Amino acid sequence: MTHVPHAAPGKITKLNRVERNAWTKQKIFDAATKVVGKYGYAEASVARITEEAGVAQGTFYNHFESRQELLEQLLPKIGLDMVRFIHARTGTAHTARQEIERFSAFFDFILEVPEFLRILNEAEFFAPIGYQKHFDNISTAYVRILRRARQAGAIIDFSDEEFEAIVQMLMGARGYLSRRYSYAEGKVTAPPAHVISAYRKLVTRGLFNATKDNGHER
Amino acid sequence: MTHVPHAAPGKITKLNRVERNAWTKQKIFDAATKVVGKYGYAEASVARITEEAGVAQGTFYNHFESRQELLEQLLPKIGLDMVRFIHARTGTAHTARQEIERFSAFFDFILEVPEFLRILNEAEFFAPIGYQKHFDNISTAYVRILRRARQAGAIIDFSDEEFEAIVQMLMGARGYLSRRYSYAEGKVTAPPAHVISAYRKLVTRGLFNATKDNGHER
Amino acid sequence: MTHVPHAAPGKITKLNRVERNAWTKQKIFDAATKVVGKYGYAEASVARITEEAGVAQGTFYNHFESRQELLEQLLPKIGLDMVRFIHARTGTAHTARQEIERFSAFFDFILEVPEFLRILNEAEFFAPIGYQKHFDNISTAYVRILRRARQAGAIIDFSDEEFEAIVQMLMGARGYLSRRYSYAEGKVTAPPAHVISAYRKLVTRGLFNATKDNGHER
Amino acid sequence: MTHVPHAAPGKITKLNRVERNAWTKQKIFDAATKVVGKYGYAEASVARITEEAGVAQGTFYNHFESRQELLEQLLPKIGLDMVRFIHARTGTAHTARQEIERFSAFFDFILEVPEFLRILNEAEFFAPIGYQKHFDNISTAYVRILRRARQAGAIIDFSDEEFEAIVQMLMGARGYLSRRYSYAEGKVTAPPAHVISAYRKLVTRGLFNATKDNGHER
DNA sequence: TATGAATGAGGCTTCATTCAT
DNA sequence: GATGAATGAAGCCTCATTCAT
């Protein structure tokens, strides 16, 4: 399922109060996504957001307690879209292949929702609560996936704690790669093929050859 | 080599104009490091920095064009300290062991210079130019290291382009891991052992078993 | 007669349009009394009052032209309750004793209607028209009482104009004393006995001894 | 000593930094006095005050932590002027005559500093800390005066506690009288003679005749 | 060169009132 | 008549930067 901003209600449809209310809130939300995606959290003033949404500044506070409250909701909400998107694109087995699919789907999602990248990367500092929430969501799900792969025999000799660390690494890899390869002056582009292949190699056989001296005894 | 703030000039020494000048600039610089490390870029107002430095606000602008200019210089400067620190702690061979040493040394450096973590993580958004500079420094050096390892036979079947991507992944792994494991309410702590072991495993043999279905044909 | 908030109409009673209307207005009125008494005029926003009344904000403007209009009505209305209360507690003679009774009854009323104190004290600035109205009510009645006492021979050698000034003084005394002695962190308490006795002494024999030098010739 | 707004520094005088600083603060202070005196605390916005002072809004915060901080300082400062003013106009004996002098001097002061009245009356709600401070100042001094009069034999049969209550009454009398008689649409006028005489009578012989029934036994 | 007061744009938020349903 | 979302003016405060001394 892809992320689609809610279409404006058709002119024919008469909205009742509840619907109008939800629609206004959604307009603000969409505007915020757009503004943060384009200018970043720091420049996402209430004035800018409401202007983009086409409502008065005061209206904002009929729907959100504060600017911060809205900002905190941004990432978790889009994050769910991402999870669904990736899930839909991933096979049901538990092998490395599916991990590569997830990896690729992440970049596909970025292309679909170009605001996501900036929202994701900046949230840590500007919307820490939302960031935490999002990260917990992702992290939990990811660890579960790895556990299943271990049960299926596709992964061996990793403890649960190590899985947690691994998830951080894989998330970090995605984050940094997306910054490096998917940005081009505000535009979002697909990562080159060697990024995918490098990831596959790292994940399927590591970086260094197996040797007797693998730093273990440190 | 560890990061040492420049000592105050001895009372006996009469400083000439040039020296006084440099000394004032250094004071501002050190103060900025401290303030950003403790409160983050967003809270690092010129007022706060100059107060910490013990100079007047106006003095700031005798040494830096703008607040931003100073902030951009912060990370590259400390980044160099880091490179030297890690280099000093790493053996001269080109095996996985050295990679693990580098990884560990990164965390050791964080313990020595607790401000670094915050400066590194936030710089991307608040000092993008400095971030880029720092990142290029690191990236170039890292790729060179990997190339040497390849020459030495410790790594095989990775192209230069793939190395670049790998470096992003390894940096991302460090970044995310340090956030997750080295922060504890403002204090900086050493990462648990399973973080190191997980990294070693990932780097020496990957995450998934070698199988026939490794996602290659995508 | 004590101040009794209008009881909710019994469930059985079907209200016609006019009654419903009056009942809604009364709810708003009672809510305003409560809110102003507890938080003061400044914090008595329309939102707060209507929430307390259990009606929508818009409903407010079906019954009052503006927020201010309601606020202006608050004091005069409760003021009448006070007059009746004090009257009921005061003997029919015209001596100093009755004045002391009135004084005491004022404080008793405050205990019965704790909102009154705040409404009275703040009205001057936040509801000046209502304040004036209330004050004229009281003042007129008070002067009349003093005149009767003069006719009865209990007061001598005061002109009507002086009575007016005296009334201001006595009202001022009540006002300041109530602030000083009847407030205790939002709670209303009875004034200590020495307040009553001091008032009696002032009113029956003044503060200073009669001397030849009483400042008359100024 | 009368209250005189600080004269603008002569053009000839070159002010050093400290003096300029103090002068700016004083300008803001004087402007606030003027604005609050004319429009009341509620309308005394920072914008209005700084405009009146002829400085930028930001300048305000170089001299005061917040709008409230300034407002709290207003009354105590002018209150001291009042105390000095009254003291200078009062004889050294301890009889009723001096009390009348104090009373009259209060109204004279109001004429000299017309802003005082509004500042005094509104402070209770808009600057409660400053109000308390002022009131404690006045109250303490006033009780001391009454005690001396008692020692001198000019007052008899009042306890210290009763003095405190009396002071509240006398302050309240002044407060209410000044509102009633000294205001005339923003202008301040002298109170009519019968106000003074009524006060003298109240203070020297009370309001009611001495009778056997003076309400004592209540 | 150092100082620090002055500047003023811009940010967030509140709230009385309006109005379409 | 009741509703409650929408409005937008106005308020307080922050802060990077300038400039006269």
Q: Tell whether B101 and B192 lie within a shared domain.
A: yes
Provide the 8-state DSSP code for C210: P
pLDDT in tens, A120-179: 989 988 999 999 999 999 999 999 999 999 999 999 999 999 999 999 999 999 999 998
Burial A31-48 (b: 16+ CB within 10 A, else e): bbbbbbbeeebeebebeb
For an interface test with D, which of C39, C155, C162 has the most D Cβ atoms less than 10 Å from its Cβ? C162
Question: Coil, helix or strand for C15?
Answer: coil
State the Cα–Cα distance between residues B103 and B198, nearest whole angstrom: 12
Q: Determine the structural domain holding residue B172 and report its residue range.
A: 67-217
CB contacts < 8 A, C to D, total 216
The verdict on a CB contact (< 8 Å) between C169 and D99 is no
Quote the pLDDT of residue C20: 77
Handedness of CA D53, D56, D62, D65 (dihedral sign): positive
- Least confident among A34-48, A102-116, C13-27: C13-27
Q: How far is CA D112 from CA A36, C113, D4, D34, D115, in A?
A: 58, 40, 9, 13, 9
Rg (chain B; Cα; Å): 20
pLDDT at res. B2: 42
User: What pairs with residue A188 in β-bridges?
Assistant: A183
The CATH number for A206's domain is 1.10.357.10
Q: 3-state class of B5 per DSSP?
A: coil
Of chain B, the end-to-end C-alpha distance in Å amounts to: 46
Residues 6+ apart with CB under 8 A from A92: A98
3-state secondary structure of C8: coil
Handedness of CA B97, B103, B105, B107 (dihedral sign): negative
Q: Which of A199-208, C4-13, C137-146 has the lowest mean pLDDT?
A: C4-13
The distance of A30 to chain B (nearest Cα, Å) reads: 22
Contacts of D175 (CB under 8 A, 6+ apart): C172, C175, C176, D120, D121
Q: Residue D218 — very low, low, confident or very high, per pLDDT cuts 50/70/90?
A: very low
Orientation of helix A17-39 relative to helix A46-53, angle to 10°: 120
What's the mean per-residue pLDDT of chain D?
89
Quote the tokens at residue A202: 């790292």
- Both A58 and A79 in a single domain? no
Per the structure, the residue whose CA is closest to nucleotide E21 at C1' is A17
Q: Is B188 helix (H, G, I), strand (E, B) or coil?
A: strand
Of C40, C177, C215, the CB nearest to D100: C215
pLDDT means over runs of 10, chain B (218 residues): 47 63 90 92 93 94 94 94 95 92 96 92 90 93 95 94 97 94 82 96 89 52
Does at least one atom of strand E sit less than 7 Å from the CB of D56?
A: yes
Which tokens hold the place of C37? 């008494």
Boundary-marking domain end, from C40, C64, C88: C64
Report the candidate in C60, A53, B83 with the shortest Cα–Cα distance to residue A44. Answer: A53
Between chains, do D96 and C207 touch, taking CB under 8 Å as contact? yes
Q: Based on the domain organization, do C23 and C79 belong to the same domain?
A: no
Written as six digits, the tokens of D112 are: 């000299």
- Claim to verify: residue D90 and residue D148 sit in the same structural domain: yes
Q: What is the pLDDT of residues D167-189, one digit of tens each?
A: 999 999 999 999 899 877 768 89
Contacts of C155 in chain D (CB under 8 A): 207-209
Terminal alpha carbon distance of chain D: 47
Tell which residue, A184, A171, A72, has the closest CA to residue A125.
A72
Q: How confident is the model at residue D20 (pLDDT cuts 50, 70, 90)?
A: confident
A203 and B200: CB-CB below 8 Å?
no
| Residues A202 and A169 occupy one common structural domain | yes
CATH number of the domain that C28 lies in? 1.10.10.60
How distant is C1' of E5 from CA of B36, in Å?
26
Q: Per-residue confidence at D14, pLDDT binned at 50, 70, 90?
A: low
Cβ separation D40–C125 shorter than 8 A: yes
Q: Look at residue A165 in the predicted model and tell me its pLDDT.
A: 97
Residue C217: is its pLDDT beyond 90? Answer: no
Give A-chain residues touching B121 at CB under 8 angstroms: 124-125
Interval C97-127: pLDDT, tens: 999 999 999 999 999 999 999 999 899 889 9
- Do B97 and B56 fall within a single domain? no
Q: Which two tokens stand for residue C180?
A: 């000083």
Q: What is the pLDDT of residue B124?
A: 87
Task: Verify whether the Cβ–Cβ distance B169 to A206 is below 8 Å.
Answer: no
User: Do A104 and A47 lie in a common domain?
Assistant: no
Neighbours of D88 (CB within 10 A): 10
- Expressed in angstroms, the distance from the first to the final Cα of chain C is 46
Nearest to D165 among C149, C172, C177 (CB): C177
Q: What is the largest CA-CA distance in chain C?
A: 74
Collapsed DSSP state (helix, strand, coil) of residue A91: coil
Beta strands in A19-168 (DSSP E): none
- Tokens encoding B96: 């996985």
If you write DSSP's letter for every residue of chain D in order, what string do you get?
----PPPPPPSSPPP-HHHHHHHHHHHHHHHHHHHHHHH-GGG--HHHHHHHHTS-HHHHHHH-SSHHHHHHHHHHHHHHHHHHHHHHTS-SS-SHHHHHHHHHHHHHHHHH-THHHHHHHHHHHH-HHHHHHHHHHHHHHHHHHHHHHHHTTSS-S--HHHHHHHHHHHHHHHHHHIIIIIEETTEE-PPPHHHHHHHHHHHHH-SSPP-S-SSTT-
Share of chain A above pLDDT 70, in %: 88
Residues B116 and B122: their CA atoms lie apart, in Å, by: 10
Residue entry with tokens 């404690």: D136
Task: Provide the pLDDT for residue B83.
Answer: 94
Q: Which nucleotide is nearest to C59 (CA to C1')?
A: F2
Residues 6+ apart with CB under 8 A from C119: C33, C36, C37, C74, C75, C78
Same domain? For A117 and A44 the reply is no
Contact A150, A156 (CB under 8 A): yes
Q: What is the pLDDT, as a whole number, of residue B211?
A: 59
User: For chain C, where are the alpha helices, taking DSSP H only?
Assistant: 17-39, 46-53, 57-63, 67-89, 96-112, 115-126, 128-151, 160-177, 193-205
Closest CB from C93, C96, C213 relative to D97? C213
Secondary structure (3-state) at C113:
coil
3-state secondary structure D192-217: CHHHHHHHHHHHHHCCCCCCCCCCCC
Quick one: which residue's CA is nearest to F6's C1'? Answer: A59
**Contact check, Cβ <8 Å, C197/D162:** yes
Closest CB from B100, B124, B205 relative to A218:
B100
Q: State the pLDDT at residue C133.
A: 94
The pTM of the full predicted model, rounded to 2 decimals, is: 0.86
* Nucleotide at minimal C1' distance from the A62 CA: F5
Q: What is the pLDDT of residues B187-218, one digit of tens each?
A: 889 999 999 999 999 999 998 876 555 555 44
The pLDDT of residue C8: 52
> Given D30, D46, D64, which residue is the final one in a domain?
D64
Residues D192 and D114 in one domain: yes
Residues D75 and D180 in one domain: yes
Chain C neighbours, 3+ Cβ pairs < 8 A: D
Identify whether residues B78 and B135 lie together within a single domain.
yes
Q: Are B59 and B50 in contact (CB under 8 A)?
A: yes
Put simply, the answer to whether C166 touches D198 (Cβ < 8 Å) is: yes
Q: Note the pLDDT of residue D1.
A: 41
Out of A42, A64, A86, pick the residue that ends a domain.
A64
Distance in angstroms, CA of D15 to C1' of F21? 10
- For residue C214, pLDDT over 80 is answered with no
User: What distances in angstroms separate CA B195 from CA A131, B139, C132, D96, one per listed residue?
Assistant: 22, 22, 76, 88
| Strand F lies under 7 A from the Cβ of residue A56 | yes
Distance CA C213, CA D153 (A): 13
**Cα A141 to Cα A77: distance, rounded to the nearest angstrom:** 16
Question: How many residues belong to chain B?
Answer: 218
Percent of chain C with pLDDT over 70: 88
Give the mean model confidence (pLDDT) for residues C40-44. 92
The helix or strand, by DSSP H or E, that contains position A188, with its residue range, turns out to be: strand A187-188
Containing C183, the helix (H) or strand (E) segment is strand C183-184
Please classify residue A137 by burial: count the beta carbons closer than 10 Å to its beta carbon, then call 0-12 exposed, 13-18 middle and 19+ buried: middle
Name the pLDDT band for C188 (thresholds 50, 70, 90): confident
Mutation to test the A interface, candidates B102, B176, B213, most A Cβ within 10 Å: B176
The predicted-structure confidence for A66-112, as pLDDT tens digits, reads as follows 999 999 999 999 999 999 999 999 999 999 999 999 999 999 999 99
Across the interface, whether the CB atoms of A158 and B40 are under 8 A apart is answered: no
Q: Same structural domain for residues B140 and B55?
A: no
Helix, strand, coil percentages for chain B (3-state, nearest 5): 70, 0, 30
pLDDT confidence of residue B4: 45
- Arithmetic mean of pLDDT over chain A: 88
Quote the number of domains for chain B: 2
Q: What is the pLDDT of residue C31?
A: 95
Which residue, C94, A176, C176, is CA-closest to D175? Answer: C176
* Cα C61 from Cα C52, distance rounded (Å): 16
